[in-house]
Amino acid sequence: MAATAKTDSTATSVAAQPTALPAMDADIKRTSVSGLSSGAFMTSQLYVAYSDIMVGAGIIAGGPYLCAKSWSLNPLVINATTTCMSPLTPAVGPNTPLLVKLSQALEKTGDIASLDNLKDDHLYIFSGQKDKTVTTAVVDQTEKYFEDVGVPASAIQYDTSVAAGHAMITNSSRDTDCPLTAAPYINDCNFEQSTRILDQIYPDMKAPATLLSSDVLAFDQAAFLDSKTTSMSDTAYAYIPATCQAGKQCAVHVVFHGCKQGAAVIGDKYYADTGYNYMAEANDLIVLYPQVEPSNGAPLNPEGCWDFWGYSSPTDAEPDFYSRKAPQISAVYRMIERLSQPRAH
């Protein structure tokens, strides 16, 4: 995939004003999700909560589902920023046995879908050797968690072989050098991570296209928000190949950016330049890019992270950031649901 093709085909890709997210008759039962860092935690949350529509997930530098609940004596935000990122020792890292028990309890109450749905899925998990932000000891527990809730080890591709910093990985010399951890947290390590993720989740994927048939769609994300404390942006993005627009039934892949990576901070770098759209073009996939942005009021989210500790329910003693009804999770589900509705005639 030539870098010039990427630049030329995305330079004018986004409409000035967001439109309504269209109904596309997408195959909701073949949905998948991936993300980096806080977006990786959000990936696990959406994936586990709505496993009944999922076929797989890609988790880059993220800890296990419910990680912030690891140690009940600690505030959720302390667990999130220590236990779930760079714990002093593995003993104070993610409490995976407890997280599995909590997940099983949520399954019984219907707050998440049945964990049995995970047993035939495929997962990609990644931890960079130079990542000091979310360490490999934490990501190891993500693999363990999913094995403990029923994903076969043979269905998990866990890569710890790359000397990468804390970043989404690309094959573009325009991006940050592989071992570094620096904004915008998109690093050139000589491979397209988006390709590896989608190859792992979906069988028989074709190689990425070199040109795009459609523009990236800027859509009205605010229409899907029920709460004023989600920290989610008014506008989000989607890539819908021409084949999907013309009537082919396509699957949906949701992509969550990390902290300091929303369009409000880095423009189109994540949704245009991380390779997903070119895989989508070649394989009849719709890519959905929900957006969150920094907030210094209510909620308190100064770095524009996805919520994996409860900031989106600032007045709740027991904030819900992890169930099917959680503010961010339910909003993203409604976007997937909209894409799956029958096309207007």
Q: Which residues are catalytic?
A: 37, 131, 166
Peptide bond preceding 327 in cis form (omega within 30 of 0): no
Residue position matching structure tokens 């989106």: 312
**Gap between the Cα atoms of 37 and 114, Å rounded:** 25
**DSSP code per residue over 280-332:** HHHHTEEEEE--B--EESSSEETT----SSSTTSTT-SS--SSSTTSHHHHHH
Antiparallel, parallel or unpaired: β 54-60 and 122-126: parallel
How is the chain split among helix, strand and coil, in percent rounded to 5?
A: 35, 15, 45
Helix (H, G, I), strand (E, B) or coil at 187: strand
CA distance 230 to 222: 10
Q: Distances in Å between the alpha carbon of 25 and those of 286, 331, 334?
A: 11, 19, 14
